[in-house]
Structure formats: C-alpha cells, structure tokens
Structure 1
Amino acid sequence: MEYFVITYTGKPIGESGESCSTEYILDEACETCGTGAKLSGSLKTKKLNKAKKNFFQTVDGDYLISEELHIKLVEKGIKIGDLDKVVDFKNNQLTFYHLYTELSFPKTTNFSGLIIDSQCQTCKRNGYFNDVIIGDLEKNIPTKVIPLELNYSDLNLDLKKQSDFFNSWEHMGLSNREAKGNLVVRYARPMLIVSERLKIVLEEERLENLKFDVIKID
C-alpha cells in the first residue's frame, strides 16, 4: 500500500490548541522546545462557527473533519481510531472531529521539498518548512511550492496495520515551550501521512484544497 503526505492548500479556518488554552502533556516532549507534546483531552478551538467544510486546517496547524465525513470514514472501514470532537472555550462539543493520532512514522532517511531553519538543537525534530521558489508579483510570476518527497528505508508492518493515518517524525515550524519576550507557547505540528485507502475516500468525496505527495519506501 502506498502512503502520502497530505497538505491542505486552502485558507485556514479558526484557531486551536495553545492559543485556546488547550492542555498538553509534556512528559515525552523535548525538554528544550516542547516538540512532541501530546494532547490532553479535547482540542479547544475558536472561530469555527462559520466553518462549513468537511476537511480543513486551523491557523494553528490542526486538521479537523466534519461529522458527516467522520461517519463516512467509519462506514467505509477506514482506521481512524476513536477521534474526539473539538470543543469551544466553554468546553461545549462542536460538530467537528480532530484528526489526531499519536502514531508516528520514523525519521525519514532523506527528503526533498523541505528546508530546515532555526531548528532546536536538542531534539532536531522541529524547524522544518516547505521549500519554495519566490515569485515576482510585478512580472506576474507566482510563488512555487517545491513538491514534497519523503523517503524511508523500511516501515514496521505492525505499525502500518494499526491505522490509516500517521504523524511524521519531523515537525513543521518552530516550538516554544515557555512564553518569553515576544514568543508565545507553541508546539510545532507534524506533517499528516495518510494511507492509499484513506486518500481514495477523500478523493471520492471531492474535497477541495487537498494535495497529496507520495512517500517512497525502499
């Protein structure tokens, strides 16, 4: 079975996570930057009242799916585990599920389409950014995002049997374990890896703004 990195290319909707007072467990997170923090309880969100999409990403990098899409994934036997509904600031459940897992692929053997900047030197798991070729507005040349390519030498068969979506070991952006100066608490999010089975269902639903980059496994 093939696996893909999924990217939401539309405009992010709403806020989530740290900025909404969501609680996280830091027992296994990086002691310096906090990368690898795990969610404790439900994901708290803001400004989702007008969200009508079945699949989208918040400005904080969390992936949410609608109740309708959740039902279809379960009916089709897609392994997504027991997802929790997100909540508002009063802990009222909303009609969206947090597409969240603690299962992760190992570190890539090599990759392209990513650059590393200001990476935490303790864990070296954050600081990954999409590589782009900057365009020129005056010449009507758009900015181009370099396609992602993640390579793995081997993947544990038992791991792949557990789910149809996973985290990458690598985390996008920067993390701050403590608020200092102009820095706020933030935990970098991993990339989302989906199986071919899940990709097919998402494509069948004709969801907008989804991009899939195939993973190479030797």
Structure 2
Amino acid sequence: MHFIFKPFTEHINFTGDLKADIDLFLSLNQCSDTAKHCFDVGAESRRLALMFDANPTSAETAGWLHDISAVFPNNERIDAARQLQIEILPEEERFPMIIHQKISKVMAKEIFNITDEDILNAVGCHTTLRANPTLLDQVLFVADKISWDQKGTPPYINELNRNLQESITHGAFAYINFLWVRKETLKVIHPWLTDAYEDLKDKVRLV
C-alpha cells in the first residue's frame, strides 16, 4: 500500500467484510455522508445490473467503492494524484474534483485489494465515463447520477429514466447530453466526457 494512504488506514482494524470495511474507512475518516452515498449507489448499481444483464455483485461493489477518495479534500487531490503517479489532465488540474475517480480506482486496489479490472475501470471513469465504455462502466455511471449526492431532485432524472426504458446506453447518453447542451456553463469539459459523448451519440442513433 502506498504510504500516502497510511494516515487514513493505520487506525482501522479491517474485518475482511468489504462493505463493513468501506463503512469503517469512510466513517472514521469523517466521510459518513459519502459512505451513505456509496451504499445508495451500490444498491442502485445492483438494480440496474439486474435490469441490463450486468454482473450484480461487481456493480454493487463498484458502487460501494466509487467515491472512497472523498477522504482527500479537493485542494489535496492533485498533489495526491502526483504522488500516486496518476496521469493528470489539464482539465483535472483546473477542476480537481474530477480526478477523484482516478484516485478512487487506485485506493480500491491498494487499500481494499480489488483485483477485478472491470470493477476498477468502472470506478475510474464513473464521473465522466469514457469512449467504448463497458456495460459495467455504464451501469455505475448511471447509478451515480440517479443516486446523486446533492439535495433535491436531479434536474435530468425524468429524461434519464425515460431513456433507460430503451437501454443503459440511452440512459448514460441522456445525462451526458444534458451536460453537453449546457457545456458553456461547466467549469471544464473533461476530454473523457467528450469522447463518451461522441461515442454514445453514434451508438444511440444506431439502436
């Protein structure tokens, strides 16, 4: 495990029960609200996985793990990414919140011993998605947007749910398109989001 994680783990006696350990990790590091969000997303990921023939256990696990990097405040994330030798894009440098997906991926592997590449990759793109996303990528991406971690009702939720009746890809694109038509108001446009938009736009048209 990378030394940067030691302050977050040295006071925890991990049990081997992944969900319990994630709850301990987040709660003992003053991120109880994030723990609730992660478990909500895990439950939603399982539900979507069962709807769209993805692996429900993998989907739930990815949901539990996706935001574990919340233990790093925004102003520390770029430095953490550098220490972890994560590639940092200019958009992430300008808006560090976005790089949390990449940090969570590393933490899932190093702290929680996740070796399933499908789970790790889904965690690593859950905020922006990416070109050629796997089914699991899309399930986690959509689950995170349905179970969002802010107050009130997501402004895109009705359109997303309507599109989910077609496919998980339609659902994912509905959210990306919601951002795309408002892209002038976004702090940054992550290149992975652009890639996902171009990719899914074509796939949705072909279905």
TM-score scaled by structure 1?
A: 0.28
Structure with greater strand share of residues = 1
Structure with greater helix share of residues = 2
Largest Rg, 1 or 2: 1
